[in-house]
Chains A and B, each alone.
Chain A
């Protein structure tokens, strides 16, 4: 049992402590919201300083984590095996079509100028397992930072397409806002006619939403959706980065627009190595 002392004095002291700490926390929240540089510098500095500690803690706990993943991931492993078997069957079927598909792809890339990185300098980065809160499902951490020339706003891509943009950067780490984040908004082009629309994250791991596509614009399922080719966008205006393919088209007669549900071309659940374009949007 806790030692007993004068209850009245203790209660007053407790309330005083609560008041001081609450005010302190609210002050920190307010200063951070106003973008006071000293706070972000403190956070970046402590992240860099704690990175080796986190690395060491993770290294020590590797056997326990592996054991846990073995226990908790057994069903996933079975499902993955089944998926892989299906994929082998599919690959065998598709092998004959491959030559034609490659020719079509070359033509399409030529048409769309699908040179993903253009002449922009890039930085290869690895997705680290970084610490994430339970609510941070739409971010990933990279193992490189401003020391390697990364900056807030840099687009992050893989060979499959757009992954997101860098939202926060310290000397040795960078946090990427994924395209699935409901706050992620970007101008996109749809289909062979390159009709413009506004894309945003849906909150789901594999789906992207494109709206404000004019009702009269012809859009079909399986049409490509690409980011780029638009001034003042989050990606360079002179390159096209694949986002995904249209899965479902829903007309909104009242607003005279179409809402497109898009299957993302990148599997964000299996990110490992990514490429960061060292380009920063003007705005």
Chain B
């Protein structure tokens, strides 16, 4: 057990991240699923995992990614746990990548979000294919990868302030 003030800080971080994850989930099901370009919508929950990795490091990225992925799995009709697995790995990898960046900028964060989103979708397609789906052979695969990556990259700067707030860094922090 740590000191009481540290536990209190940690629990308020958990509460704030829960608010962000649930809020983005509502945004995904209420609006983003219809925000389609060529039949593809942004994956905001994957973006939450990526943003968590960007602002909170690999550990935070993995935990938030797991929670966001599990919520997505409960929502869609694919195999349960696949999104949780993929988002965990992506969130962790983003946190590790962010650690190796000496001075992060908005453009670097957007670039990481684009790359991580593409990786996340491909990872999801790969794992689903292993479980008997046709996602890797889906003729729309590269269109989905490309559009999700670009949309998530563009939406990343809008989500980062919320994630910084959840992490306790303050909405106006300049950290990317």
Q: Confirm or deny: B51 has a beta carbon within 8 angstroms of a beta carbon on chain A.
A: no
A2 near B56 with CB under 8 A, answer yes
A58 near B29 with CB under 8 A, answer yes
Residues of B within 8 A of A47 (CB): 74-75
Q: Most chain-A Cβ atoms within 10 A of its Cβ — which of B33, B78, B134?
A: B33
A13 near B59 with CB under 8 A, answer yes
- Could you say which of B34, B56, B62, B125 contacts A135, with CB atoms under 8 Å apart? B125
Interface size class, chain A? 35 or more
CB distance from A166 to the nearest CB of B (A): 11
Give the nearest-CB partner of B143 in chain A. Answer: A134
A54 near B29 with CB under 8 A, answer yes
Residues of B within 8 A of A167 (CB): 77
Residues of B within 8 A of A24 (CB): 66, 84
Tell me which residues from 32 to 81 in chain A have a Cβ below 8 Å from any Cβ of chain B: 32-33, 39, 42-43, 46-47, 50, 53-54, 56-58, 60-61, 64-65, 68-69, 72
A25 near B175 with CB under 8 A, answer no
How many angstroms from the CA of A60 to the CA of B88 in the assembled complex?
Answer: 30
The DSSP consensus for interface residues of chain A is: helix
A39 near B80 with CB under 8 A, answer yes
A50 near B74 with CB under 8 A, answer yes
The DSSP consensus for interface residues of chain B is: helix
A61 near B62 with CB under 8 A, answer no
Tell me which residues from 53 to 100 in chain B have a Cβ below 8 Å from any Cβ of chain A: 55-59, 62-63, 66, 69-70, 72-82, 84-85, 88-89, 92, 95-96
**A to B CB contacts below 8 Å, 21 in the list:** A10-B57, A13-B59, A14-B62, A18-B59, A22-B85, A25-B84, A26-B81, A27-B81, A28-B81, A29-B79, A57-B27, A60-B30, A129-B34, A133-B76, A133-B78, A134-B41, A134-B144, A135-B124, A135-B128, A136-B76, A203-B138
A residues whose Cβ falls under 8 Å from a Cβ of B: 1-2, 10, 13-14, 17-18, 21-22, 24-33, 39, 42-43, 46-47, 50, 53-54, 56-58, 60-61, 64-65, 68-69, 72, 129, 131-137, 139, 167-168, 175, 182-183, 203
